[in-house]
Amino acid sequence: MEPRRIVLAVVLMAAVMVLSNYLFPTTSQTPVAKKATADSLTTGMSSAATASTPTMGATTDSTGAPIAAAVAPVMVPVDTAVVSTAVADYRTTNKGAALIGASLTQFQALSNGGRTRSGTVELGLPNERMLGFRLVVPGDTIDLTRQVFRSAQSQDGANTVVQYDTELAGKTVSITYSFRPDSYRVDVSAAVAGVPENSYLLVDLPPGFRSSESDTTEDHSHLAYAYKPELSGAEGIAFRSLDPGEREIETGPITWGVAKNKYFILGVLAPKGGTPFAEINVTGGDRINDEAVRGHATLVTPLKAGNAAFEVYVGPQEFKRLVALGREFETSNPYGGWIQGIVQPFATMVIKLLLWMKSTLGVSYGWILVIFGVTIRIVLWPLNQKAMRSSMQMQRIQPEMQAIQTRYKSDPQKLQAAMMELYKEHGMSPFSSLSGCLPMLIPLPVFFALFFVFQNTIEFRGVPFLWFPDISVKDPYYIIPVLVAATTLLMSWIGMRGTKVGDQQKMMMYLMPGMMLVFFFSMASGLNLYYFIQNLASLPQQWLIARERSKPVIKG
C-alpha cells in the first residue's frame, strides 16, 4: 500500500500545481532601465526589443538591481483591428495598443523603373510597430507594447474609434484612435488613471518603412527623422548620419516629430495650442548590408492629470496637405542641409509656383516643367542680353587694354587713369565684367531649388512623360542626359563664334559637356528635362549675340 500512497500523493501534488497555475496565474514583469542622466528625460532600455530607445528613470533595490514594473496578466487574445477610410487602410493591434500598418490605397507601389505597378503602398514593416507606447511614472517605466489590451470599436459621427483598455500596476490605461473618414489624420489620446503629475507617455516612432519604390536603395537613402522645436526651424536627422547606438537628444518644447522616407511620412503633432512634447530622442539603428535602414526615435509627452493627446499623420508628403496641418508641418522635410535657411524658402516658392501652374493650366507635370523652363529663359532674356553684350564689349576692348597695360606697366597711376579713360570711351566701367556674369548665375538658385524639390515631391512620383515612365527617376534609356550634354556643347560652340579662342577655352568647350553628362546621368528625368529646355531656349539668344559679334565694329 505504501507505494500506492506515494504515487497517489505525487499525482495529487501535480494536480494542485497545475490547477494553481491555471486559477492563480503569476504576474509577468517588465524590466526597468537605469536612472536617467541629468541632461535628458530619457535613457536607453536594456531589453532587446527596445534597445537604443529611451525610457525614464527607475529606482533600484539595495543591491543596485532595477526594480521591475508590474504588468497585468495576459488574459485577452491578441487581435488586429482594420479601419478602412477613403484614402487608407489602417491596422492596429491590442498587443500594446499599437499602430502596426498603413496601406495607402490611392498610391501604387512601383517596380521595374517605375513602369509597372505592384499593389498599393504599404508603409509598415513586417512584425514591427509604427507607433508604440511606454508609460513612465516616478520610479518605473512600463512597456505597454508587451501588454494585451481589451479592444472596442465604435463610431463617433463620421469617425471610426478604436479604444484599447487595460489594468496594470494598479492603474487603468486607455489608448484611443479616432480615424477620420477622408483624411490621413488620426487623433490619438491616452488616459492613465491615478498617476502623479510628473508622469510621461513615451511615443515610439517607426524604426523604418517598407519601400514601395522601384529604386529601394535610393529610397532608403532618404530615411530620416525630423522634429520642430517650438522656437526655431525644423531639424532633420538622416538614418545614415548616426552610427549604430549613437544618440541625439533634443529637449523641448517640441511641436512635432516625424519619421519619413522619400515620399511618405508618419508625423506626430502636438495639438494646436496644447501641450508640446518635452523631448525627442533619436538613436542610430543597426546597418543591414552597410545600409542605414533602421533607426529608433521616441517623443516624450507629459501626462497632464493623467491625459495626453496628439495628432498622427500617416500618408504622402503632399505639400498642400502638409500646409493644411499648420504648425509649419510643410517643413517636415528639411531641404538643403547646412544651407537650409537659404534653400528651404526658395524651394517652397518653386513648389508653390509649380502647383499653381498645374492647377491653372491643367496639363501634366512634364509639360509644366517644359513651360517653366521656357518661362524662366523669357523672363531673364533682357538681363542675359545685357550680360552677353557686356561680355562682348570686354572682348572687343581686350587688345586696347593689353596695350595700355604694356605701355604703363611701370606707372600704376597712369595705368589706372588710362584704363578709366578706356572704359569711359566705350561706355563701360571696371565692374562691367562682373555685372555681365551675375545674370548668368540667376537660373542657378532655381535649378538648385528644383534639385531639392525632386528629392521628395510626391506630386512628381509615377508621372509619365514622353518616353519617361516616371519623371521622378532617371531616364531608363539615358537619352535626356545625352541631350543635355549635346545642347551644352552647341551653346559653347555658338558662344565662341567670332572670337579668338585659346587652347584653354577649347578644352573647356569639350570638358563642360562631359561633366554635365556625368552629373545628370543618374538625376531625375524631370530635372534633366528642365535643364535641357533651358539650354534649348537659350540657343536663339546665343545665336543672335554671335551674329552681332561677327559684324564689323564701325567707329564714329
Q: What is the pLDDT of residues 277-327, one digit of tens each?
A: 999 999 999 998 889 999 999 999 999 999 999 999 999 999 999 999 999
Helix then strand then coil, in percent of the chain rounded to 5, is 40, 30, 35
User: Does residue 241 sit in the same domain as residue 164?
Assistant: yes
Task: Classify the C-alpha dihedral 468-472-473-474 as positive or negative.
Answer: positive
Check whether residue 315 and residue 395 sit in a common domain.
Answer: no
Give the chain's domain count: 2
Residue 69 has pLDDT above 50, yes or no: no
Which positions ≥6 away from 32 have C-beta within 8 Å? 55, 58, 66, 67, 68, 69, 140, 141
Cα Rg of the chain, angstroms: 33
Identify whether 10 is part of a domain: no
pLDDT at residue 116 in the model: 61
Question: How is residue 293 written as a grid cell?
Answer: 535602414
Q: Are strands 132-137 and 200-204 parallel, antiparallel or unpaired?
A: antiparallel
Buried b (16+ CB within 10 A) or exposed e, 506-541: eeebeeebeebbeebeebbbbbbbbbbbbbbbbeeb
Q: What is the pLDDT of residues 352-397, one digit of tens each?
A: 999 999 999 999 999 999 999 999 888 888 877 777 777 767 777 7
CB 546 within 8 A of CB 387: no
Query: Which is more confidently placed, 116 or 401?
Result: 401
Structural domain contains residue 6:
no
420: pLDDT strictly greater than 90: no
Residue 432 and residue 285 share a domain: no
Average pLDDT over residues 495-520: 77
pLDDT band at 15 (very low <50, low <70, confident <90, very high): very low
Backbone angles phi, psi at 311, to 5 degrees: -105, 145
Indicate the average pLDDT of the chain: 81
Please list the residues that pair with 299 across neighbouring strands: 203, 280
Whether residue 275 is found in the same domain as residue 377 = no
Residue 477 lies inside a defined structural domain of this protein: yes
Cell of 487: 545642347
3-state SS string for 460-472: HCCCCECCECCCC
User: 85 and 195 share a domain?
Assistant: yes
Grid cell listed for 47: 531589453
Is residue 291 in some structural domain? yes
Residue 382 and residue 279 share a domain: no
Distance (Å, whole) CA 467 – CA 484: 16
pLDDT reported for residue 99: 98
Residues 284 and 391 in one domain: no
**Domain coverage including residue 146:** 80-334
Whether 25 is covered by a domain: the verdict is no
Same domain, 413 and 294: no
> For 319-381, what is the HEC assignment?
HHHHHHCCCCHHHHCCCCHHHHHHHHHHHHHHHHHHHHHHHHHCCCHHHHHHHHHHHHHHHHH
> In the structure, what pLDDT confidence band is assigned to residue 433 with cuts at 50, 70 and 90?
low
